[in-house]
Structure 1
Amino acid sequence: MRNFINEVGQIIGIEQNTTSQLEKLLSGLGGFFGIALCYLISNIYLTGPATLFIVASAGASAVLIFAVPNGALSQPWPVIGGHLISASIGVYCQQHLGNPHFAAAAAVGLAIFAMYHLRCLHPPGGATALFAVAGGNHVIDLGYSYVVFPVLLNIIALVSCGILFNALFQWRRYPSHLFRRHQTPSTTGAKPSFRHISPDIAQEDFAAALHQMNSFIDITPDDLSDLFELASRSARRRARTPLKIEAGLYYSNAERGSDWAVRKVLAIEGRRIQFRTAAGSDDSTDKAHYCSRRAFRQWARCKVIMSSGLWVPCGSSNEGS
């Protein structure tokens, strides 16, 4: 049943959150301060319910800036450019396209198209474009002033708050390129490199791979390089740790793609091991299987646990968070 629930969760896209409780708290606090500032600015230029809708648009940006500060969609240009371009397109559609339903749809569609080409794709920009058409008389009366007051002021305040708040914590890079991840020195004193694991892979190869996928992915080549480096460190730690097979624990074959599998050792009976598949490609995840201890040891590469919906090696720094 647990495996079925996990499979359903992956199909419907339940996020596999690996962040610590501190990171979750900081994200919430950052969003609080950012939106409080935006709300004050909105109240200066709009009255009534319209202020709430402006803040709602900025609220979506706050989630990205403070919860995903390293993400490509969260960086200053996507936030500022995405909102301003979308707001301008929204106002244009409202003023020049007669049918409000068509104008609203055109505003969002054109905003997405423009953001893509101007390299500032930012999902909340769609809401900003839509609100320029459907925001009511308070917003319509502003005309192109809507782009500056309150959209520009709101976004400048939000981005500024994001830069100042995230700079207080060295692992929260914002802007991503300016504040690079703090690298912990290796025990040998030499800076580790992912080239030690795969010497043929360069950072440019990650960029090429992103191009070949032909779909926008909210990650940068720098982030991929960092992930590869951290994964390489984990692999080196795992290689130095002797593997002991014990009943009740989970083991992975450390393969990739369709060959990957996780097994739980149910019992050790002399030279035989009883196990079942907990995840991955092995025949059935419900029934028990038997193999020799030698065969299981040859198959198993690391001991793993479930942490935040992901299988991670035992001893990982974030396990159980």
Structure 2
Amino acid sequence: MRNFIKEVGLVIGIEQNTTSQLEKLLSGLGGFFGISLCYLISNIYVSGPASLLIVASAGASAVLVFAVPHGALSQPWPVIGGHLVSACIGVYCQQHIADIQIAAAVAVGLAIFAMYHMRCLHPPGGATALFAVAGGDSIYSLGYAYVVFPVLLNTLALVGCGVLFNALFKWRRYPGHWFRREYAESTSIAKRGFRHISPDIAQEDFAAALHQMNSFIDVTPDDLSELFELASRSARRRKRKPLKIQTGLCYSNAARGEQWAVREVLAIEGKRITFRTAAGKSDDVIGIDQSCSLRSFKQWARCKVIMSSGLWVPCELSND
């Protein structure tokens, strides 16, 4: 049953979130401050329910800026450029296409196309384009002023709030380039010291790297580079520690792809060991008790692991 539930979760795409409780709390607080500021600005230029609807697209941006501050879609240019380009296209479609349904569809489609070419792809921009078409008379009366008041002001306020709020926490620098630059400077000595080492990177090491980054990210090439460096550190630590097999603990073979597996030790009797495969796609049968010699198990096992936030990570990095 447990394996069935896990498979269902993978099919429907339940995220394997590795962020800490503090990170989740800070993301929520940042969104609170950012949207409060955007609402105050919108209420100055648009009255009634329309002001709330305008803030709706900013709410989606706030999720990216404060929950995924190092992601490619969260950076200042995608946020500002994406909303501005989409707002311009939305106003144009509203003024030149009589049928509102066609205008809405064209506005969103063109906004996506334009954001791609302007290198400012930002999903909430689609809502900004749509609202320019379907926002009603209070939005129509603004014309192209809608692009500046309140869209531009809202995005500038949101990005500014993101910069100031995230600057309070060393691991949440925004824009993401500042985080990567600080990370590169802090690890330059370590990189030089281990330049001659090329460790084997295991699946658990990448999971460990995600835990250390402590950020829910959409991956960029820079992010992958950071992940590789952090995974390399995890691999070096794993190799330095002697492995002791104990009952009740889980061990991984530190392989990659279909050969990767995690085994839970059920009992050790003399030179025999009984175990159960807890995860992996190897030839082992998940959930079925098996046995082998203790020597063979020691040759197979490479690191001690624990389940943390839906991922198998080295025990010392668990935040459970």
TM over 0.5, yes or no?
Answer: yes
Alignment pair present for 1:300 and 2:301: yes
Deviations 1:223-264 (A, max 9, x none): 111111111111111111111111111111111111111111
SS, match of residue 171 in structure 1: helix
Unpaired segments ≥5 residues, structure 2: 200-216
Structure 1 counterpart SS, 2:174 = coil
| SS of equivalent to 1:23 | helix
AA in 2 matched with 1:252? S
Spell out the pairing of 1:62-141 with structure 2 (5 A cutoff). 62-141=62-141
Conserved in 2, the CA contact under 8 Å of 1:171 and 1:182?
no
CA offset at residue 220 of structure 1? Answer: 2.1
In the aligned structure 1, how far is the partner of 2:300 from the partner of 2:311? Answer: 20
Is the 1:170–1:182 Cα contact (8 Å) retained in structure 2?
A: no
Q: 1:232 corresponds to which residue?
A: 232
In the other structure, the counterpart of 1:208 is none
Q: Give the C-alpha shift of residue 151 in structure 1.
A: 0.4
Separation in 1 of the partners of 2:95 and 2:175?
A: 35
> Which residue does 2:310 correspond to in 1?
309
| Residue correspondences, number | 300
Q: Which ranges of structure 1 fall in alignment gaps of 5 or more residues?
A: 200-216
- Which residue does the alignment assign to 1:59? 59
Q: Residue 260 of structure 1 aligns with which residue?
A: 260
Shift of 1:12: 1.2
What is the aligned partner in structure 1 of residue 15 from structure 2? 15
CA deviations on 1:170-199 (whole Å, 9 max, x unpaired) are: 11121111343446968xx94236855549
Mark the CA change 1:293 to 1:33 in structure 2 (over 3 Å): closer, same or farther: same
* Structure 1 residues 192-213: Cα deviation after superposition (integer angstroms, max 9, x where no partner): 36855549xxxxxxxxxxxxxx
Q: For the Cα contact (< 8 Å) 1:90–1:128, is it kept in 2?
A: yes
- Structure-2 residue corresponding to 1:202: none
CA distance in 1, matches of 2:276, 2:104: 54
Q: Is the CA contact 1:89–1:110 (under 8 Å) kept in the aligned structure 2?
A: yes
Q: Does 1:47 align with 2:47?
A: yes
Determine if contact 2:305/2:314 at 8 Å carries over to the other structure: yes
Contact 2:249–2:265 (CA under 8 A) maintained in structure 1: yes
* Displacement after TM superposition at 1:158 (Å): 0.4
Structure 2 distance, partners of 1:35, 1:65, is: 11
Q: Give the counterpart letter for 1:91 in structure 2.
A: V
Partner of 2:190: 191
Aligned residue for 1:70, secondary structure, equals: coil
**Counterpart in the other structure of 2:290:** 289
Q: Note if contact 1:197-1:232 (Cα within 8 Å) is conserved in structure 2.
A: no
TM-score by length of 1: 0.88
Cα 1:10/1:151, change in 2 over 3 Å: same
Deviates more, 1:105-114 or 1:147-156: 105-114
Calculate the TM-score normalised by the size of structure 2: 0.89
Q: What is the percent sequence identity of the aligned residues?
A: 75
- Aligned equivalents of 2:186 and 2:33: distance in 1? 34
State the one-letter code of the partner of 1:293: L
Structure 1 residues 29-48: aligned runs within 5 Å: 29-48=29-48
Q: Is the 8 A contact 2:68 2:218 kept in 1?
A: no
Question: Which amino acid in structure 2 is aligned with residue 66 of structure 1?
Answer: F
Letter in 1 for 2:319: G
Residue identity opposite 1:264 in structure 2: E
Do 2:260 and 2:281's aligned partners in 1 also have CA atoms closer than 8 Å? yes
CA distance in 2, matches of 1:184, 1:239: 25
Q: Give the structure 1 partner of residue 144 of structure 2.
A: 144
Q: Which amino acid aligns with 1:314?
A: C
Summarize the Cα distance change of 1:196–1:98 in structure 2 as closer, same or farther, 3 Å threshold.
farther
* Aligned partner letter, 2:285: S
Deviates more, 1:42-51 or 1:217-226: 217-226
CA RMSD of aligned residues (A): 2.0
Question: 2:294, 2:103 → 1: CA distance?
Answer: 68
8 A Cα contact 1:3 1:278, kept in partner:
no
Assess, with a 3 A threshold, how the Cα gap between structure 1 residues 198 and 91 changes in structure 2: closer, same or farther: farther
Provide the rounded CA distance (Å) in 2 between the counterparts of 1:4 and 1:174: 40
